[in-house]
Structure 1
Amino acid sequence: MTTEVEPVEHEDRWILNLRGLTVARISVDFRLTLALDAGWEVVLEAPARLSPGSVRTSPGLLLTPESQDVAAVLPLFGAMVLSSVAFKSGALRLVFDGGTHLTCSTDTSFEAWQITGPRGWRFVSLPGGDLAVWSGSGASENPQGRSAKQ
């Protein structure tokens, strides 16, 4: 299943509209990459948490891409995305069928994660806790929340 719906901006978050896409490839180097069908890619460079259900009910497992300690994510191969949210604070939350949650917080010094997609969409968690957004139209959402042309 693919989606033609563009990401939607809200006051404190972006709904990425990846619902129905599946994890087609998982790769690991100093990063953890989840390649979704329809041309979307999720790249985690900072530690992330994989929880079997809501993060409120289970602390889950810590994934550490830079040390390749990410084996717990392998069962996500073929999993379908149910929800995908990029918070303007720089945090990320993905929910997969089966209830698995993948969350990534910000990093004080580095870009914690990025998501790229078709038509030039790019979401980046900036150092210190902001979110940058680019679309194929050339618009950029800067960390202060004002739109600007690239």
Structure 2
Amino acid sequence: MSTETEPVEHDDRWILNLRGRGVAGITVDHRLTLTLDGCWEVALETPARLSSGPAHTNPGVLLVPETQDVAAALPLFGTKVVSAVAFKTGALRMVFEDGTHLTCPTDAAIEAWRITGPGGWQFVSLPGGDLGVWSAFAANEKPQGRSAVR
């Protein structure tokens, strides 16, 4: 697992430090939810793309949680995360150890995805293309150098 215990903010993104966390559960209702080791959860509410290899040679498969058209995501069960990045534009990119890439763009009208974790961490793709970030740290004291944390 990652040696970092908390997500790390950069100018244009947050590195979520989920490396080594396995997909311990997959649930489907109006969204596709990946439950990861260590009390992290990734919930996709809008279409996302699952692919492997370079995007220009393999466009991948579209996952549509609203219609439960997500069967292509089931092989992620048991797979470990290699990287997870929440962009401040509201997009999400995750890479898994088997080479699978999961990308979820923003949505104009609704929250496209949400990631929650220990310490009160929440990352939310806000409608229209922005990233909302919350943590228990921000609720208890004024953050220093973390303008994106609410």
Conserved? CA contact 1:20–1:80, under 8 Å: yes
Conserved? CA contact 2:2–2:17, under 8 Å: no
Equivalent residue, structure 1, for 2:143? none
- Secondary structure at 1:131 match in 2: strand
Conserved? CA contact 1:2–1:37, under 8 Å: no
Residues 62 and 120 (structure 1), Cα distance of their counterparts in 2 relative to 1, 3 Å cut: same
Question: Root-mean-square deviation (CA), in Å?
Answer: 1.6
- How much has 1:4 moved relative to structure 2? 5.2
After the TM superposition, which residues 86-101 of structure 1 pair with which residues of structure 2 at under 5 Å, given as runs? Answer: 86-101=86-101
Given the two structures, how large is their TM-score scaled by the length of structure 2?
Answer: 0.90
| CA shift digits 1:17-60 (9 cap, x unpaired) | 00000000000000000000100000000000000223243110
Aligned mates of 1:97, 1:147 — CA distance in 2: 29
| CA shift digits 1:109-138 (9 cap, x unpaired) | 000000000000000000000000001112
Q: Percent identity?
A: 68
Residues 4 and 45 (structure 1), Cα distance of their counterparts in 2 relative to 1, 3 Å cut: same
Segments of 4+ moved more than 2 angstroms: 1-4, 53-57, 145-149
After the TM superposition, which residues 73-92 of structure 1 pair with which residues of structure 2 at under 5 Å, given as runs? Answer: 73-92=73-92
Report the AA paired with residue 83 of structure 1.
Answer: S
Equivalent residue, structure 1, for 2:116? 116
Aligned mates of 1:112, 1:85 — CA distance in 2: 15
Residues 68 and 89 (structure 1), Cα distance of their counterparts in 2 relative to 1, 3 Å cut: same
Q: What are structure 2's unaligned runs of at least 5 residues? A: 140-145
Equivalent residue, structure 1, for 2:55? 55
